[in-house]
Amino acid sequence: MNSELTKNTLDWWEKKRIWYNLIVLIFGVWQIIKEQPDTFSFEDVIGVLIYGVGANILYSIGILIELLDEYYFKTFFKFKRVRWFFLIIGILFSILYTTWLIKIYYNGPIWAW
């Protein structure tokens, strides 16, 4: 594996991670405010932190896929050409999933809406 190629891949994804986190955080806070919870407990804070760690683990899948393409497939799939697409799709999925979880947390199951 080309170490320069690996470094460029890691740099590209890590520079986008802060934006990913900010976007998901903004939408999450907006949804929490919109749902107007009566109280925000210590357990809620722990849940948000655990969710943030999980979201970042899933974000790392993009890095992993690109590194696997470089190492095992010698860039056969040319993942670099579609990395922006996967980043945007991942952000949109994270926003929708975050919104859905917050709605379920504060309003109960969907059939109860």
In 3D space, the residue among 101, 110, 98, 105 whose CA is nearest the CA of residue 40 turns out to be 105
pLDDT digits (tens, 9 = 90+) for 9-25: 899 999 999 999 999 99
pLDDT digits (tens, 9 = 90+) for 42-96: 888 888 889 999 999 999 998 898 888 888 887 787 888 889 999 999 999 999 9
pTM of the model: 0.82
pLDDT at 13: 93
Q: Which residue has the higher pLDDT, 88 or 37?
A: 88
Q: Do 94 and 88 form a contact (C-beta atoms < 8 A)? A: no
Q: Which residue has the higher pLDDT, 16 or 112?
A: 16
